[in-house]
Amino acid sequence: MIPARTSPEIAILGHPNEGKSSVLSTLSEDDSVKVSATPGETTECRTFPVIIDGQEVLRFTDTPGFQNPSRVVVEMRKIAEAGGDSVARFRAMFKDNEELHDDVELMLPVERGAGIIYVVDGSRPVRNVDRAEMEILRLTGRPRMAIINCKDDDFGHLDNWKNEFRKNFNTNRVFNAHRATYAERILLLEALKSIDQDWQPTLDIVVRAFKADWAARNHATADILLSLLTECLQYHVSGTISEGTDSAILKDRLKNSYQKTIEEKERKAHEQIRTLFKHNIFKYQLPPHSMLNEDLFSERTWHLLGLSKKQVALAGLVGGAVVGAKLDLLTGGASLGLFTGIGSAAGAFGAMFGGKKLSSTSNILGLQFGGEELKIGPATNINLMLILLNRAFLFYQHTINWAHGRRDYTTTLPEPVDTAGSAGLTNNWTSDQLRICKSYFKAVTENQEDQIVESGEKLTTLLTETLAEISKHE
Ligand SMILES: Nc1nc2c(ncn2[C@@H]2O[C@H](COP(=O)(O)OP(=O)(O)O)[C@@H](O)[C@H]2O)c(=O)[nH]1
Ligand SMILES: [Mg+2]
């Protein structure tokens, strides 16, 4: 007898090529699990521990698919009639039988006490071999759950499958290995509790550990975002105009350097979030219309993620300015380009300063002139902050909902439709929530240290709550 392990083990069983490894990869958030279009490639079991805070809380075991279920079911019936541990006896009897190699191997975790998740592709009809496999699993007497992974999104056979499952399994669920979101993963784990009463307390702890871990990741994401905002909002570049300097060239150079640096900071923050959510090989294709395909400073990005008229007014961000209003030209401080809303992005194109046309992005960023110095940044309006936040929320949404078992990087995820401001989550924020952003923006850009800490804490809470809200959607 193989000794029982302390963390619960779940073996993923099923016919070859039905999506066992994909389900395991998604459930364990492990994208190193081998998923293959060729049936029968796996011939040995492989165990993947789920580790939270350095502790193994659960382990999943990937198995070869059933090789000869029609014969195994006949043998298992005979063995079961005789009584005793049918799994151990079956394995002992056929351990040297080549024809049943995979069948003997896949029972290994079951022999050591693993619970069973049986995976079928529900987009095809139930066959006799499936019935044989289900009976084998029933004869093991182990806690078991069936998962219907509809590979082709065809749900026409679902009722037939469910009927078969009722006879043989404690519970069943539809779970798509490629599209399961975080919320659906948690629901599946919750459902797993019902496979056996004895398992409930342990699986309760596992589900709680998963949820706590997720909350910790959201908090860490909020911290990453806060650092990104602080760095970007404070960032500035400057250059001196001396005799012979072509100020237009200098402006261009400064603007490019400013944008590149901010873009790089954003890219790094997104990379950190990706790592936090354990995506190592993930290089998905974003939807063709995704904002994240656009440069941070492209006009379209700002249009789609931009502030709505209502939001600007609510936040009192630009003191009564309306969308499409002309740019504020501040004297004294000589800062140009208080970007007053999405409509003015286009208007800004035609803005004139000192007889020279400035490009829209310079205006958006706030190009400051002071004596002989040309300076871009620190940010002069809150839009940069909101754009960075909205893009991060989109990135987060894609990341958490990209199932680890998915390997087809060509199909895409939905994103909001292409209308002004629609993709900007902050457009739905209340004036209180926007006020938190505004306080933080002011504190950072005016370098008020105590305010930075205080408003930073409030902003972190707001961000963490927003991320939790995004994760709730299935
Ligand atoms: N479209 C789609 N393909 C899937 C799904 N699950 C698995 N596949 C594909 O089916 C093939 C077999 O999957 P795999 O997980 O290796 O099956 P296993 O042999 O049961 O472990 C692979 O090419 C997977 O990418 C799914 O939910 N949707
Ligand atoms: Mg496999």
Q: What is the CATH number of the domain that holds 157?
A: 3.40.50.300
| Phi/psi-derived region of residue 318, left when phi > 0, alpha when psi is between -120 and 50, beta in every other case | alpha
More confident residue, 198 or 306: 198
**Among 40-54, 60-74, 225-239, 341-355, the least confident range:** 341-355
**Strongest mean pLDDT among 333-342, 386-395, 435-444:** 435-444
The pLDDT of residue 314 is 37
Q: Which amino acid makes up residue 349?
A: F
Residues 161 and 222 in one domain: no
Q: Whose CA is nearest to atom 2 of ligand 1?
A: 151
Per-residue pLDDT reduced to its tens digit, 271-297? 999 999 988 766 655 555 566 666 676
Residues 312 and 361 in one domain: yes
Q: Please say if the pLDDT value at position 360 is more than 70.
A: no
Q: Please say if the pLDDT value at position 103 is more than 70.
A: yes
User: 10 Å Cβ neighbour count for 204?
Assistant: 13
Sequential DSSP letters for 107-167: THHHHTT-EEEEEE-TTS---HHHHHHHHHHHHHT--EEEEE--TTS--TTHHHHHHHHHH
Residues 307 and 386 in one domain: yes
User: What is the mean pLDDT of the segment spanning 227-242?
Assistant: 88
Q: Are 408 and 178 in contact (CB under 8 A)?
A: yes
Give whole-number Cα distances, 239 to 252, 258, 365, 374, in Å.
Answer: 11, 12, 16, 5
Q: Is 176 in the pocket of ligand 1 (CB under 6 A)?
A: yes
Q: Please say if the pLDDT value at position 298 is more than 70.
A: no
User: What is the mean pLDDT of the segment spanning 245-266?
Assistant: 85
Per-residue pLDDT reduced to its tens digit, 9-19? 999 999 999 99
Residue 312 within any structural domain of the chain: yes
User: What is the mean pLDDT of the segment spanning 358-384?
Assistant: 59
Residue 409's pLDDT band, with cuts at 50, 70 and 90, is low
More confident residue, 147 or 323: 147
Q: Please say if the pLDDT value at position 363 is more than 70.
A: no
The pLDDT of residue 362 is 44
Residues 285 and 414 in one domain: yes
Q: Please say if the pLDDT value at position 419 is more than 80.
A: no
The pLDDT of residue 160 is 93
Q: How remote is the CA of residue 150 from the centroid of ligand 1, in Å?
A: 10
Asked which of 152, 177, 202 is the last residue of a domain, the reply is 177
Residue 241's pLDDT band, with cuts at 50, 70 and 90, is confident
Give whole-number Cα distances, 463 to 288, 305, 467, in Å.
Answer: 27, 17, 6
Residue 406 within any structural domain of the chain: yes
The DSSP element (H or E) to which 11 belongs, if any, is strand 9-14
Residues 154 and 233 in one domain: no
The preferred substitution site among 13, 21, 22 for testing ligand 1, maximizing ligand atoms within 8 Å of CB, is: 22
Residue 329's pLDDT band, with cuts at 50, 70 and 90, is very low
Q: How remote is the CA of residue 165 from the centroid of ligand 1, in Å?
A: 21
Residue 451 within any structural domain of the chain: yes
Residue 201 within any structural domain of the chain: no
Residue 425's pLDDT band, with cuts at 50, 70 and 90, is confident
The pLDDT of residue 101 is 96
Asked which of 146, 177, 208 is the last residue of a domain, the reply is 177
Strand-pair category, 328-329 with 352-353: unpaired
Residues 133 and 276 in one domain: no
Asked which of 155, 177, 199 is the last residue of a domain, the reply is 177
Instruction: Indicate which atom in ligand 1 lies nearest the CA of residue 62.
Output: 21
- The number of the ligand nearest the C-alpha atom of 122 reads 1
Q: How remote is the CA of residue 22 from the centroid of ligand 1, in Å?
A: 6
Q: Rounded distance, CA 327 to CA 339, Å?
A: 7
Which pTM does this prediction carry?
Answer: 0.81
Q: How remote is the CA of residue 87 from the centroid of ligand 1, in Å?
A: 27
Q: Which of 299, 234, 289 is nearest to 262 (CA)?
A: 234
Q: Rounded distance, CA 450 to CA 102, Å?
A: 65
Q: How remote is the CA of residue 285 from the centroid of ligand 1, in Å?
A: 19
Instruction: Indicate which atom in ligand 1 lies nearest the CA of residue 407.
Output: 25
Q: Rounded distance, CA 214 to CA 98, Å?
A: 44
More confident residue, 236 or 106: 106
The pLDDT of residue 61 is 97
User: What is the mean pLDDT of the segment spanning 94-104?
Assistant: 96
Tokens 């994103």 label which residue?
Answer: 415
Q: Which of 170, 176, 174 is nearest to 200 (CA)?
A: 170
Q: Is 20 in the pocket of ligand 1 (CB under 6 A)?
A: yes
Q: How many domains, the chain?
A: 2
Instruction: Indicate which atom in ligand 1 lies nearest the CA of residue 152.
Output: 1
The rounded mean pLDDT for the chain is 80
176 CB-near residues (< 8 Å, 6+ apart):
149, 150, 184, 403
Give whole-number Cα distances, 269 to 25, 388, 455, in Å.
Answer: 25, 10, 21
Residue 191 within any structural domain of the chain: no
Per-residue pLDDT reduced to its tens digit, 244-254? 777 788 878 88
The pLDDT of residue 71 is 97
Q: Which tokens is 153 given? A: 């999104």
The preferred substitution site among 20, 35, 60, 66 for testing ligand 1, maximizing ligand atoms within 8 Å of CB, is: 35
The pLDDT of residue 464 is 97
Residue 197 within any structural domain of the chain: no
The pLDDT of residue 334 is 25
Residues 96 and 229 in one domain: no
Per-residue pLDDT reduced to its tens digit, 447-474? 898 999 999 999 999 999 999 999 987 5
Residue 392's pLDDT band, with cuts at 50, 70 and 90, is very high
Instruction: Indicate which atom in ligand 1 lies nearest the CA of residue 408.
Output: 25
Q: Whose CA is nearest to atom 18 of ligand 1?
A: 17
Q: In 127-166, which positions are buried (b, 16+ CB within 10 angstroms) versus exposed (e)?
A: eeebbbbbbbbbbbebbbbbbbbbbeeeeebeeebeebbe
Q: How remote is the CA of residue 19 from the centroid of ligand 2, in Å?
A: 7
Residues 162 and 239 in one domain: no
Residues 316 and 251 in one domain: yes
Q: Is 149 in the pocket of ligand 1 (CB under 6 A)?
A: yes
Residues 308 and 363 in one domain: yes
Residues 357 and 464 in one domain: yes
- The number of the ligand nearest the C-alpha atom of 36 reads 1
Q: Are 28 and 69 in contact (CB under 8 A)?
A: no
The preferred substitution site among 63, 151, 406 for testing ligand 1, maximizing ligand atoms within 8 Å of CB, is: 151
Q: Please say if the pLDDT value at position 133 is more than 90.
A: yes
Q: Are 267 and 306 in contact (CB under 8 A)?
A: no
User: What is the mean pLDDT of the segment spanning 410-418?
Assistant: 53
The pLDDT of residue 307 is 46
Q: Please say if the pLDDT value at position 340 is more than 70.
A: no
Residue 136 within any structural domain of the chain: yes
Q: How remote is the CA of residue 57 from the centroid of ligand 2, in Å?
A: 23
Give whole-number Cα distances, 67 to 12, 70, 112, 380, in Å.
Answer: 15, 9, 21, 67
What percent of the chain is modeled with pLDDT above 70?
76
User: What is the mean pLDDT of the segment spanning 126-146?
Assistant: 96
User: What is the mean pLDDT of the segment spanning 399-424?
Assistant: 67
Q: Please say if the pLDDT value at position 356 is more than 80.
A: no
Residues 158 and 232 in one domain: no
Q: Are 298 and 319 in contact (CB under 8 A)?
A: no
Give the burial class of 238: count Cβ atoms within 10 A of its Cβ; 0-12 exposed, 13-18 middle, 19 or more buried. middle
The pLDDT of residue 413 is 55
Strand order in the sheet with 46-52: 46-52, 55-62, 9-14, 115-120, 144-148, 171-174
Q: Is 177 in the pocket of ligand 1 (CB under 6 A)?
A: yes
Residues in the chain: 474
Q: In 77-92, which positions are buried (b, 16+ CB within 10 angstroms) versus exposed (e)?
A: eebbeeeeebbbbbbe
- The number of the ligand nearest the C-alpha atom of 23 reads 1
The pLDDT of residue 346 is 29
By residue range, what is the domain housing residue 365? 217-472
The pLDDT of residue 213 is 93
Residue 187 within any structural domain of the chain: no
User: What is the mean pLDDT of the segment spanning 162-175?
Assistant: 92
